[in-house]
């Protein structure tokens, strides 16, 4: 069924063009016509794949989240406990231009999600997935009865989300070196939790 394969490939290409456009130009400027033109497609060429701007945006955010999650899976593979948590955190922290672009996408997406419960659910599902991952690694480090473990998990996620904002809007205090040091601080403290 070569036609279906082509459709999937085309959808993927459109989403890749879209996320690079948003990272570079912002989401305000995104409309299907200009995006098609910028990517060398005919006007209306996106419509069969993404009938509305919103369907394209959901697909784009999911694409970015999937890319991050694939990197996490690869980086944390074979690791346990604190080492796995560090590998996870380093894939989310904006430590290079790719991840800074992902942070820009996240900030734009959050703004949209405030006005659209469907988008907010997409975001919350990513967070649920990350909480489940962190639970498994924290479970390798701490007793189930330690009531601080869920707080450690959720404040780690909030730290990472805030670092996404900081890296793109308060960059001098959130350079790569400084973000690495902030992460080391958070991980060092986590390691002392049961001492």
Footprint of its own copies (CB under 8 A): 25-28, 104, 107-108, 110-111, 113-115, 120, 123-124, 127, 131, 148, 150-152, 154-155, 157-166, 168-170, 172-174, 178, 181-186, 188-189, 192-193
Comparing CB distances to its own copies, the nearer of 44 and 150 is 150
C-beta separation of 91 from 71 below 8 A? yes
Q: CB 11 → its own copies: shortest distance, Å?
A: 26
Among candidate residues 118, 117, 119, 72, the one with its CA nearest the CA of residue 91: 72
Kind plus residue range of the DSSP H or E element containing 171:
none
Q: CB 5 → its own copies: shortest distance, Å?
A: 35
Q: CB 45 → its own copies: shortest distance, Å?
A: 26
Tell me the three state secondary structure of residue 141. Answer: coil
Comparing CB distances to its own copies, the nearer of 14 and 160 is 160
- Alpha carbons 86 and 72: distance in angstroms, whole number: 10
């Amino acid at each position: 069924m070569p036609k279906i394969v082509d459709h999937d490939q085309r959808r993927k290409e459109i989403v890749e063009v879209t996320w690079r456009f948003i990272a570079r130009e912002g989401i305000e400027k995104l409309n299907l016509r200009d995006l098609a033109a910028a990517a060398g497609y005919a006007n209306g060429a996106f419509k069969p794949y993404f009938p509305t701007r919103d369907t394209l945006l959901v697909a784009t955010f999911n694409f970015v989240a999937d890319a991050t999650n694939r990197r996490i899976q690869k980086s944390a593979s074979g690791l346990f406990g604190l080492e796995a948590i560090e590998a996870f955190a380093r894939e989310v922290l904006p430590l290079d231009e790719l991840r800074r672009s992902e942070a820009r996408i996240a900030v734009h997406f959050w703004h949209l999600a405030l006005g659209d419960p469907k988008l907010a659910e997409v975001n919350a599902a990513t967070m649920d997935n990350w909480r489940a991952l962190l639970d498994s690694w924290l479970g390798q480090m701490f007793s189930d009865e330690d009531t601080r473990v869920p707080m450690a998990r959720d404040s780690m996620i909030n730290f990472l989300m805030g670092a996404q904002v900081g890296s793109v809007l308060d960059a001098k205090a959130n350079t790569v070196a400084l973000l690495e040091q902030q992460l080391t601080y958070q991980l060092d403290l986590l390691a002392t939790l049961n001492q």
